[in-house]
Amino acid sequence: MDRTERFFKVQNLLRSRQFVTRDQFLSELEVSAATFKRDLDYMRDRMRLPIVWDAERQAYRLGLSSSGVERHELPGLWFSSAEVQALLTVDQLLSGLEPGLLAEMLKPFRERIRRLVDTGDHSLEELGRRIKIRSMAARFVPPRYFELAASGTLERRRLRLTYFARGTGESNERVVSPQRLVYYRDNWYLDAWCHLRKGLRVFALDSIERATLLDEKAKDVPESQLERELSGSYGIFSGTPTQVAVLSFSPERARWVAREQWHPDQKGRTESDGRYVMEIPYSDDRELLMDILRHGAEVRVLAPESLRVRLRDELGRSLAAYSAVP
């Protein structure tokens, strides 16, 4: 039992039994007399919990606070040590996100959580050294654009964007109604209704060249439509699923892939020879191809034939590029 859990235990024992002897505390907490004394002093002096000694009953009880009123609760926001460590893990993830409106909103909460660590058995420095979250291939988003995207999403206002489309290499201006912000594979995206294209589109925040928050009310799109059109198939630029990819992984690679979730609606089975077959709904194959290629010869595309052809062409171009190197 760590220190924070002991604090809760002391408080709960006093509230449930009213009078608790020293020996009962030592037995319940499973600590030495010296440790119990240190905990008691800390709770009295630092946490202002009025724990008093009742000489007549030879036991501890909860008394009145300095203001003369009953106060039997630990002050502030309290968690167990395990909960604090979990929150700090999330805090470390949040600290790596792009700065902006989200960071400012969470700053007071993060600072409060960090202060709680002082009552636990592990220092903030120790947790920082022992818990690491590493991001990879994150693209920089100017804080100003993140703030505007977040404000438009939360305040339900339209945005005017100058957007660089990497696929065509061209920039164009459009007005969008933000629906939700998505953090996917270490990068930020904005799901929005595009008034130029008259449909839902996904915008990478790092591709925004200019942004202006408008006073016009954003068009609201039902959640069911967002899920159906933007989350139904594979990848961030998904769209409504039109095909199902059937992938067969080698027995060696199956040890990893069989435990991975590539898509919420995927299906998988292990064959008698140890190969793992995965079925994934998709519409746009660009991201799916990249994920298939990283498995090299350990995976084969069984269907559809169009995906097999695309993969063979991509592998052929790669081989040609290496063959051309002197």
DSSP string, 208-270: EEEEEEEEEEPPP--HHHHHHHHSSSSSSS--S--EEEEEEE-HHHHHHHTT--S-TT-EEEE
How confident is the model at residue 93, as a pLDDT? 65
Residues in CB range of 285: below 8 A, 6 or more apart: 245, 307, 310
Fold of 243-323: Alpha-Beta Plaits (3.30.70)
Give the per-residue pLDDT at 87: 66
Burial 87-124 (b: 16+ CB within 10 A, else e): bbeebeeeeebbebbbbeebeeebeebeebbebbebeb
CA dihedral of residues 286, 287, 288, 291 (deg, nearest 10): 130
For 148, residues 6+ apart whose C-beta sits below 8 A from its C-beta are 159, 211, 212, 213
C-alpha Rg value of the chain to the nearest Å: 29
DSSP state of 138: -
The one-letter code for the residue type at 107 is K
Each residue's pLDDT tens digit, 224-244: 999 888 887 788 866 788 999
Closest CA to 251 of 294, 308, 309, 300: 300
CATH number of 3-62: 1.10.10
Taking the C-alpha atoms of residue 44 and residue 163, their distance in angstroms, rounded to an integer, is 59
Residues 5 and 120: beta-carbon distance below 8 Å: no
- For the question of whether the overall pTM of this predicted structure is more than 0.85, the answer is no
Per-residue confidence (pLDDT) for residue 143, from 0 to 100: 82
Q: By CB neighbour count within 10 A (0-12 exposed, 13-18 middle, 19+ buried), where does 282 fall?
A: buried
pLDDT (0 to 100) of residue 44: 86
User: Per-residue pLDDT for the chain (326 aa), expressed as one digit of tens each?
Assistant: 677 778 888 988 988 888 999 999 999 999 999 999 999 998 888 777 889 999 999 999 988 765 544 555 555 445 555 666 666 666 666 666 555 545 666 667 666 666 655 555 555 666 667 767 777 788 888 888 988 999 999 999 999 999 999 889 999 999 999 999 998 888 899 999 999 999 999 999 999 999 999 999 999 999 999 988 888 778 886 678 899 999 999 999 999 999 999 998 999 999 999 999 999 999 999 999 999 999 999 999 999 999 999 999 999 999 999 887 66
Is the domain 143-230 a CATH 2.30.30.530 member?
yes
- Closest by CA to 67, choosing from 79, 50, 82, is 50
pLDDT digits (tens, 9 = 90+) for 37-51: 999 998 888 777 889
**Residue 239's pLDDT is what?**
74
